[in-house]
Structure 1
């Protein structure tokens, strides 16, 4: 029995930055949406979930490089960076490796769920709305 391995995913430095900005930015947005609650716990749990990613996406997310544009002065400024990055990341991966697009989407979904469960009680309405916006950005590609 032979096993066919997928073609390697070739990503530029800019492509990798888009993926990291999208993934860690999604967690940052969800954390910012619960600023009065447990934003640090949300960020930690979401980031730990991202660290569990596998495959080429997991390798990109595990790289120890600075993510430059996640310091918005407001949630709106952060969203202006992250939501387009989510759409761009999905478009890039769908074009180069559809299986990795599915992996990236699943990774973001797990991170958002882990982040949401980090707070006591149900997610706030703002967190629910932010999750919907993140999902819409992923689906826009």
Structure 2
């Protein structure tokens, strides 16, 4: 199945994925975790991998605190899953798996994650499953 993504669709996917890593960092994940999470995102395959590996300046994460960042990222995660699922459910599953690998890499970079990071990881998973 062929997927056609607009520039806005690609921006939503990038904002959602990289925003999930940023959100975990804001919740207290270690700096090394952010690096590991970003590496996980750029290691993706398929259409999602091509979108995430493209360097773009269209990622808009303007939150000044965790709540404001979550207000942007969590809906973007749901929107990304929805737009991918409408065209190719396999790519939606690929996106979900990719983000969850990045979440695990970010949260678990230095052993057990803090309760705040664990709670945020659950919220990210819920946003991915909300579509």
Which of the five TM-score ranges fits, normalised by the shorter chain?
over 0.9
Shift of 1:116: 1.6
d(CA) in 2 for partners of 1:114 and 1:76? 22
Q: Deviations over 1:31-76 (max 9, x none)?
A: 1111xx62x2121110000010000000000111014421310011
Shift of 1:118: 1.2
Two-structure CA RMSD over aligned residues (Å): 1.1
Larger radius of gyration: 1
Tell me the equivalent position of 2:92: 101
Structure 1 unmatched runs, 5+: 1-6
TM norm structure 2: 0.96
Verify: 1:18 aligned to 2:8, yes or no. no
d(CA) in 2 for partners of 1:140 and 1:131? 14
Verify: 1:70 aligned to 2:61, yes or no. yes
Count of residues in correspondence between the two structures: 131
Structure 2 unmatched runs, 5+: none
TM norm structure 1: 0.89
Q: Which consecutive segments of 4 or more residues in structure 1 shift more than 6 A?
A: none
Of 50-59 and 70-79, deviating more is: 70-79
d(CA) in 1 for partners of 2:60 and 2:14? 10
